[in-house]
Structure 1
């Protein structure tokens, strides 16, 4: 079987770092060391097998999942999605700085239904889209993909879990069938527990590594594979299948990854930064992510 390598570019030195160098806030040696650190991130995180070669999402992309397999996937993904709220809240509580607290709240509050607001633009001024465009891009009244939650509007229907409820309903699952720990397999619950332990760690070095790895995993291509598969299933078997949860996440995750790159730029040059713990947090969460997807792959043979 041919291996699919997803798009996971090595993080580059940003204009922010270049500006700090030009202003004399950083030396060339410091920037060179940081560039080497980014190369280590590429080797340890972005080239991890679950990012470069995810057997389950590669299979899912073909759109051949039977209805029972599709319902199982939605149920397990809903458990991860709901339990992530606990990890995200813990990450915000344990944030070591106000700036990092705000970055964590951006993600958590948007998950709960606060819509991203573009600076200087009111929600009401967003362009109107056709129903087909809303399905593909996300309804801008509910799911803006750029900006900040600061000054945004909270709507129940904008909560990400409600989008999954709609997906589940179209497949014969109801609210009581999804999202709870009791619905999770051991592999799914292992991933959820590791998210809480690592992504939400009270050790800022562990949490930073886990956060960086999680957001760059999310931005590396698996959402596209899920969207491709679901679009095929929608076209062939389930024309009413709502896909906004998946299409929106596919388009927004790059913004989250950008936030984590800004965070690491801020903490790397501090005197207490510990790269050993940073890489520990990232590697351990990537292993937990692998357990989740490999568990779903194993479940295919048990349907």
Structure 2
């Protein structure tokens, strides 16, 4: 399992690039230019304040949120989570290549309940776990953090939104109370709309930048802070709270970020790659992410 750290990782040249250099597919000058580009991506994206200093999740990890604050968080996060499906579908539709389309569909189909599995692994491995272990690590019948959806199976209970319903119900919310646009605050809906505009953009350069920024934001540590907060809340107040939605995402997002770096390595060396549009997509989606979290922070400071 991949352990997420709470600090952004530095972007460096991967072994894949060095292999292409050794095979003569790339020149040393091209590799040097790509390293400089990655350094700029690091400065522009990974050092963004919503990645390095998210005030809301830093507060949340203490586990002191009131019941009202918890319900507000789950409701707003559920809107983002459910509306993300639209952006993910747009990204798959607008992908410029078949390979990128498949990568996008991996994420979308897994969100909808198609279970990742390794190609050599049977669909069910029947690992014996306690209910507590299943909640923390994921029921092996429903989840996996590695592999592909290709050849997997779909189960309704494996849909991420159903996991979110599980934790919502532990806090007095139900299916009809979460996930719809009508439940979203203006700041949450702004983020959802920007995801569709940028992450799902018809312009592949804008979409590439937004996708790279989103996946690296997700892998940079906020899931760990949310898991830490919910774990403390479960230990002290809600012993039957189901945390699978947050524990699973905490463990899978680094895999998604790795995929975006591999994808970037492919598109960067194409003659039509537009760095300015790439950075535009990334910067604008990071600002939209900041609006979402700042909105939640304002809610708690103003007592919702």
Could you tell me the TM-score, scaled by structure 2's length?
Answer: 0.97
C-alpha displacement at 1:126, in angstroms? 5.1
Residue pair 1:96, 1:204 contacting (<8 A) in 2 also: yes
Cα distance in 2 for residues equivalent to 1:260 and 1:282? 13
Name the structure 2 match of 1:162.
162
Name the structure 1 match of 2:52.
52
Name the structure 2 match of 1:196.
196
How many residue pairs match? The answer is: 299
Cα distance in 2 for residues equivalent to 1:115 and 1:125? 13
Residue pair 2:7, 2:221 contacting (<8 A) in 1 also: yes
3-state SS of the aligned residue for 1:123? Answer: coil
Cα distance in 2 for residues equivalent to 1:60 and 1:143? 26
Cα distance in 2 for residues equivalent to 1:125 and 1:299? 44
Cα distance in 2 for residues equivalent to 1:103 and 1:69? 35
Deviations along 1:139-188, one digit per CA (max 9) or x if unpaired, are 11111000000000100000000001111111111111000000000000
Residue pair 1:6, 1:53 contacting (<8 A) in 2 also: no
Cα distance in 1 for residues equivalent to 2:119 and 2:217? 27
Say yes or no: does 1:256 pair with 2:260: no
Structure 1: runs of 5 or more not aligned: none
3-state SS of the aligned residue for 1:124? Answer: coil
C-alpha displacement at 1:277, in angstroms? 0.3
Name the structure 2 match of 1:207.
207
Structure 2: runs of 5 or more not aligned: none
Tell me the C-alpha RMSD between the 2 structures: 0.9
Name the structure 1 match of 2:303.
302
Say yes or no: does 1:269 pair with 2:258: no
Name the structure 2 match of 1:240.
240
C-alpha displacement at 1:52, in angstroms? 0.2
1:21-100 matches, within 5 Å, as: 21-100=21-100
3-state SS of the aligned residue for 1:44? Answer: helix
Name the structure 2 match of 1:8.
8
Residue pair 1:6, 1:51 contacting (<8 A) in 2 also: no
